Amino acid sequence: MLNYDSIRHVKGESIFLDDFGAPAGTLHGAVFYSPEAHGKIISLDTSEAEKHPGVKAIITAKDIPGENQIGGIIQDEKLFADTEVEFIGEPVALVIADNPLAARKAAKKIKIEIVPLEVITDPKTAFEKGSLIIKQARVYSCGSTDEAWKNCDFIFKGTAETGGQEHLYLETQSALAIPLEGGSIKIISSTQNPTAIQRTAARVLAVSDNAIESEAMRLGGGFGGKEDQATAWAVMAALGCRITGKSVKIVLNRQEDMRLTGKRHPYVSDYKIGLSKGGKIISYEVVFYQNAGAAADLSPAILDRTLAHCTGSYFIPNVKAEGYSCKTNLPPNTAFRGFGGPQGMFVLEAAIFNAAEKMKMEPRVIQEINLLNEGDAFPYGQKTEFCKAKECWNEAKSKFDFDSVKRETDEFNEANKLFKKGFAVMPVCFGISFTNTMLNQASSLVHVYADGSVSVSTGAVEMGQGVNMKLRQVAALTFGISVDKVKSEFTNTTRNANTSATAASSGADMNGNATKLACGEILSRLKNHYRRAAKLSENEPVEIENGYVISCGKKTDVTWERLTASAYRNRIDLSAHGFYATPKIYFDPRTNKGNPFAYHVYGTAVITVTLDCLRGTYEIDSVKAVHDFGKSINPVIDRSQAEGAVMQGIGWLTLEEVVHNEKGRLISDTLSAYKVPDIGFTPKKIEFLFLENNDRNAGVFNSKAIGEPPFMYGIAAYFALVNAVKAANKNSDVKISAPMTPEKAFMNIYGEKK
Ligand code: MTE
Ligand code: LUZ
Ligand code: MOS
């Protein structure tokens, strides 16, 4: 029982990077960053800073031995700005001192002269000025919207906006680089992607990949914010290490982390939707303007997922979805749970909401009749398989009784003037796999020690989502032994090479499958060893169950430990490497057609809210969902992932508001200015019903990915609040612009209709 992350966390025993005993003499780095959102650098004066006590080095672009380039998808991001700055918070120099305070104080003494250039913060303005990350539009389409409009009884147009979101992982970005022999460097960092750090550090330092060992112990949360954006700090630490010959540690403080790192992408989107009288959606056009910030980062991949998920859980025969990654003078925005999917789905829900209002129907009627059926094709060509859209909806509809939710809400609103309730339903369908097919690969290195204990190393990074526990379970299930025998190791590039980020909710799926393969290999060697020793023929069934060998169906007295010790003495290899590449997926990025996802995850949630009409504040009364968990291998982890994700989704659309001023400065850069849901905001009731099934899918042991899909149930909270506002003032002209902060709810109740 002691061998659980949760218990270690509660006892304060878990080791995070900043707890890790850094080598004696470790130096500390502080980042000096651009105070201007756009401009030409005309001078940089570090002379005063150099004189500050304790300062050992000040590193700028000119000190980089290799390339000053950290871009992943597109090579458009410098480690340090040299001639131009494009956002406030863009790193310009790294001050290295013998303690963090001295480094930060010295950084304040650096002087930079910048000739300001025009600052753009809004994606549509960027689009109009031709400021784009990629010039061409990304377009996903099916059928013909041009043809379809004439078959529609109703056509509506509108705009929907969603805001940014701060990751607010408890552990801020941090890295420690330690010099090894022969010019090699070990980087330990809080990253979802150790391989990206290895490759980028090698490139910046002009060394080969094998000169960099990159490790992640466990993260105090990542949520996508450390998929790409842990790299810069880790590479800076490595560069500092190379230049000073000493270990270098960089730990951003909270405010630096909020100012310097990118967030969820805000979007502004224009839609046009066409329906039949009965509410069938016939045609849908949408243009997404994604606010990418000043560099590509993961924006193009995120835009792809927005486009892939723009039809949500619905079948729409005629679709044209266009997307632009707009370049603005903000920190590059990045991965965040859902990876553009939530932004895509939100717009269609806004369109359905708008249509329903004009057609005097309830949104849930339109939602229900358009749900995906088995075999329906998405605009990207893939057809649904084991589709659970209707099953989840119907189960939720009956278990949570949507009709009585409606009746109770109406009755409450009749009876109350100062408080109004609202509810909304949200079906989710989320594709599992990286949309970039190449990334869908994983490896596992399993050692069985002679005493029968097991060590599992994969590319999966533990960030609180419980992947380490799931991997231990996979090994234990495959071997037929107790989970206590198995340990998940820290993620390290010398044990697992060429790993993908732990992301796209597929960490447990892919690394679990690789682990199953590796364990299976060792298991078959062990079984053969037993057969030889017991003089059984090759075909006689030998199994291991609950730590004992079962021979020809009968339990023996040979324990797992005895078997492994004996195998060792007989010179049997007790280690194996498993490699998993998600089968049957492909995607052609030129036509945007293919089978990008291994499978889809489905569910339906209903959220009820109460709005205080005098204050604009609100409570989430309940979140109830039927969710397709597949055959869960760890229902406790899966349930808590679902609850955490939906809370994060609700936060995105309600309290959390990322605000920049017109100069590109982040205003919401403290926790007093940026509100996240806390325990007091937690819904009074959260109920997740498991739609269990044993469908064949690419999840390990037919489990299903859980990390991201429930995030999107949060969208129901937004529309529930809009309904509550409209119950308070039926003439309120609510602009669909998330988040619905209490201020906005208030203004929407009392604001003038234009
Ligand atoms: N849960 C916790 N506690 N902390 C996190 O940082 N990240 C989420 C999700 N759940 C996260 C989390 C995101 S964005 C993803 S993609 C998945 O976990 C990644 O892990 P998995 O692939 O193992 O599900
Ligand atoms: N990261 C990525 C992701 O690189 N590709 C994806 O498709 C993805 N999806 C979700 C989260 N992260
Ligand atoms: Mo999650 S956004 O895929 O890290």
Domain of 100, CATH number, reads: 3.90.1170.50
Q: What does the pLDDT average to over 353-368? A: 98
Number of domains observed in the structure of the chain = 3
Say whether pLDDT at 433 is over 50: yes
Among this protein's residues, is 708 annotated catalytic?
yes
> For atom 16 of ligand 1, which residue has the closest CA?
503
How far apart are the CA of 226 and the centre of ligand 1, in A? 11
Residue 739 CA from chain centroid, whole number? 19
Task: Collapse the DSSP code of 111 into the 3-class scheme (helix H, G, I; strand E, B; otherwise coil) and give the result.
Answer: strand
Mean pLDDT of 47-75: 98
The ligand with the least distance to the CA atom of 301 is: 2
pLDDT at residue 694 in the model: 87
Question: Residue 576 CA to chain centroid, in angstroms?
Answer: 30
Same domain, 493 and 613: no
> If you take atom 12 of ligand 2, which residue's CA is the nearest one?
504
286-310 tens-digit pLDDT: 999 999 999 999 999 999 999 999 9
Any idea which ligand is nearest the CA of 706?
Answer: 1
Q: Are residues 565 and 679 in the same domain?
A: no
Q: Tell me: do 419 and 545 sit in the same domain.
A: no
Pocket test for ligand 3, best of 305, 309, 337, 435 (most atoms within 8 A of CB): 337
Cβ-proximal residues to 582 (8 Å cutoff; 6+ apart), any chain: 433, 440, 441, 506, 509, 510, 598, 698
pLDDT at 752 over 90: no
- Determine the atom of ligand 1 nearest the C-alpha atom of 339: 14
For the cut 50, the answer to whether the pLDDT of residue 1 exceeds it is no
Pairing state of beta strands 419-432 and 318-327?
A: unpaired
Is there a single domain that holds both residue 304 and residue 383?
yes
| Distance (Å) from CA 471 to ligand 1 centroid | 14
Q: In terms of domains, do 67 and 211 share one?
A: yes
- Identify which of 191, 265, 302 to mutate to test ligand 2's pocket (most ligand atoms within 8 A of the CB): 302
149 in a structural domain: no
Annotated catalytic residue, options 619, 708, 743, 752: 708
Based on the fold, state whether residues 180 and 222 are members of the same structural domain: yes
pLDDT of 754 reads 56
Q: From ligand 3's centre to the CA of 505, what distance in Å?
A: 7
Whether 43 contacts 85, CB under 8 Å: no
Ligand 1 atom with minimal separation from the 221 CA: 6
Percent of the chain whose predicted confidence (pLDDT) is above 70 = 99
Overall average pLDDT of the 329-342 stretch: 98
Give the contacts of 196 (CB within 8 A, at least 6 positions apart): 72, 228, 231, 501
Q: Is residue 226 part of a domain?
A: yes
Task: For residue 190, report the distance from its CA to the centre of ligand 3, in Å.
Answer: 14
pLDDT at 356 (0 to 100): 98
Cα distance between the two ends of the chain: 62
For the chain, percent of residues with pLDDT exceeding 90? 96
Its domain, for residue 241, covers 5-117+167-260
d(CA 708, CA 712) in angstroms, rounded, equals 8
Question: Does 725 lie in the same domain as 576?
Answer: no
Domain boundary residue, one of 260, 293, 327: 260
Overall average pLDDT of the 628-638 stretch: 96
* Domain closes at, from 208, 237, 260: 260
- Check pLDDT > 80 for residue 391: yes
Mean pLDDT over all residues of the chain? Answer: 97
pLDDT at 136 > cutoff 60:
yes
Which of these three, 581, 606, 632, is where a domain ends?
A: 581
Helical segments of 289-362, H only:
299-308, 341-358
Residues 721 and 677 in one domain: yes
Which residue type is seen at 579? Answer: F
398 and 547 assigned to the same domain: no
Among protein residues, the one with the nearest Cα to ligand 2's atom 9 is: 504
Per-residue pLDDT of 641-675, as tens digits, reads 999 999 999 999 999 999 999 999 999 999 999 99
CATH number of the domain at 316, please. Answer: 3.30.365.10
Ligand 2: which residues within 6 Å by Cβ?
298, 301, 305, 335, 339, 434-436, 439, 503-504
Asked if 354 and 431 sit in the same domain, the reply is yes
User: Which residues, judged by CB distance below 6 Å to any ligand atom, belong to the binding site of ligand 1?
Assistant: 221-224, 337, 463-465, 467, 502-508, 641, 644, 705, 707-708
Task: Identify whether 230 is part of a domain.
Answer: yes
Is residue 458 assigned to a domain?
Answer: yes
pLDDT for position 753: 61
Domain-located, residue 179: yes
Whether residue 103 sits in one domain with residue 209: yes
* Domain co-membership, 194 together with 311: no
Burial annotation 348-357 (CB, 10 A radius, 16+ → b, else e) = bbbbbbbbbe
Q: What ligand is nearest to the CA atom of residue 460?
A: 1
Q: CA separation (Å) from 394 to 59, 322, 367, 377, 532?
A: 60, 32, 12, 21, 55
